[in-house]
Structure 1
């Protein structure tokens, strides 16, 4: 039975989630349809642009993405703390970038003389909008509805564009986050659509590599549209960005990609070893987990203790901790 989204997203457990959405009947509605001969590759750019716009409005950061021909992957970080820090005015202005406002809120923003009841109602609406601006479901709804309407208009048709509700996986710790990001960034390589990450169109890793290649100053090494790699912070201080080093991640991705491709030889660069040791990753099982990440972890991914805690929170009798034991074995 399908669970309500609120029963699958627990921000006290993790802010990171892997979202997947497929086109109806898994048709190539965002790529080249071999049956009809039509090419819809331009719709991939629609998705990239809309994802970027929504991330600038919502308190939700993009960690990784891959837009494929009949589905897409997103790794997102929900920044609840950021949303709580916004002023009422900022919340209202952000919301109205996407939706029509409300007369009472408009009056509140313009300091028009209103009754206390009208002001209270305006603040109530803004509080609702604030919560929605860090809800995964609202982010995905804004994305999918926009693309569906645009595509149906282009095709002069009506009906579903997406298969149904998006699927989400909770990424309960840094190792799960790292494995999932590698899984998403290597999607085109595994599908034999691209030979290397830098030639993988419509992916976050291509965007990161392009920014790095064109950088002239240190502060320009990473694109501003997606969450930056900021590394670990000492004494448990939360990292403002992704808790890994950019070059460690690129080396890890290159090594993993070469090993996953059976027709290519690869090797483990010396500078990648510290990352494995730091995250206590079992190297022998790493490739198997990344290659079939989506099959091994259904609703959530993380260490056995994190998975068990998630199962209790979400009311599940058990979670698949078998692969977690392999991945996290010392």
Structure 2
């Protein structure tokens, strides 16, 4: 069965949550250790994390969870057209121009000016299209993947594909599927024996959240959302040597706003705010993410405890009793606690080829809404969920 088209899985005009996977074409040495030459390219994982952080500051897309591996990356993304609708035309224009400044004779001079913003705002047809793209997961992934591929190919002194092909997408249709998928993503380094516990699993959302609670901060990679005055940009170009302009641009990319933030500030909050109406967009105003809306009815302490317990269940024959409080959390979501270990550690068996993630009843409902009789893999996951 061919992979579903993007328009069949999600649309930029509809709020939805999607698990995406992007793989390298030449396997592990592109983002890890090349066993043929011994070169270590693990630093490229930080390239990817910082690019995600930068894009989270301009796109109407929430990054819920992520994990950067040696030869692929996982993300759980939620597009937010409701947030994008709250932005002014000027906000939309500067955000778009920060990521796609357009063709310039000198790429290092591609700083959006006030005149560039006014020009885009005046073109109402293009601006409407840009507004849609800023809440489109496909455009988010395009803006993430292309620069990483160019940088890696430049470093390797080669041309050609860096990524295997278009990213794989799975629509997450309920909270049970979202909790399970988030745990699966956060535990990827543990499953791959790259880390012994979530505390050691760098370049994952769980690692960032845990360290942020210990006070960890980092230089913000968020884009500066203020355009440069046109006169000032012209003067700088006329009076500054090209090499100096290039060096200044390169230095500014390290920390565009000059701020330091908590390690997880760019990620969506984990816990939903029960005091806030679910229909409210909760637009973020500090310039590091699109919204302040959480995604699970689970407190961080409870999530972390369940994550650590699950990480220890690497061997199927090891008998370990799930704490009663965590078992109740799973039961409330319709997840069979006795099958929780299998669901996470044998994820590929249950959801590896499915276009949807969630309880069987939710998957069936989504299939009917999209004109299908069922989704592939719907029956195989029934054993992991209560009726």
Residues 12 and 136, structure 2, Cα contact 8 Å, conserved in 1: no
After superposition, where does 1:16-165 map in structure 2 within 5 Å?
Answer: 16-100=17-101, 109-110=117-118, 122-165=123-166
After superposition, where does 1:1-330 map in structure 2 within 5 Å?
Answer: 1-10=2-11, 15-100=16-101, 109-110=117-118, 122-214=123-215, 223-231=264-272, 233=274, 237=278, 240-243=293-296, 244-261=298-315, 266-297=320-351, 298-319=354-375, 320-329=377-386
- Greater percentage in helix: 1
Taking a change above 3 Å as real, the CA distance of residues 176 and 40 of structure 1, as seen in their structure-2 partners, is same
Taking a change above 3 Å as real, the CA distance of residues 146 and 11 of structure 1, as seen in their structure-2 partners, is closer
Q: SS in structure 2 opposite 1:271?
A: helix
User: Which whole-Å CA distance do the structure 2 matches of 1:305 and 1:232 have between them?
Assistant: 26
Q: SS in structure 1 opposite 2:161?
A: coil
User: Which whole-Å CA distance do the structure 1 matches of 2:314 and 2:15 have between them?
Assistant: 28
Superposed CA RMSD in Å reads 2.9
Q: SS in structure 1 opposite 2:64?
A: strand
- Range with greater deviation from structure 2 (283-292 or 77-86): 283-292
- TM-score computed with the length of structure 1 as normaliser: 0.87
Q: SS in structure 2 opposite 1:100?
A: coil
Taking a change above 3 Å as real, the CA distance of residues 3 and 278 of structure 1, as seen in their structure-2 partners, is closer
Gaps of 5+ in 1: 113-117
**CA deviation after TM superposition for structure 1 residue 234, in Å:** 6.6
**CA deviation after TM superposition for structure 1 residue 258, in Å:** 1.1
In structure 2, the residue matched to 1:115 is none
- TM-score computed with the length of structure 2 as normaliser: 0.75
User: Which whole-Å CA distance do the structure 1 matches of 2:96 and 2:6 have between them?
Assistant: 21
Residues 199 and 206, structure 1, Cα contact 8 Å, conserved in 2: yes
User: Which whole-Å CA distance do the structure 2 matches of 1:39 and 1:53 have between them?
Assistant: 25
Residues 95 and 101, structure 1, Cα contact 8 Å, conserved in 2: no
Q: What is the number of equivalent residue pairs in this alignment?
A: 319
Gaps of 5+ in 2: 104-112, 218-260, 281-292
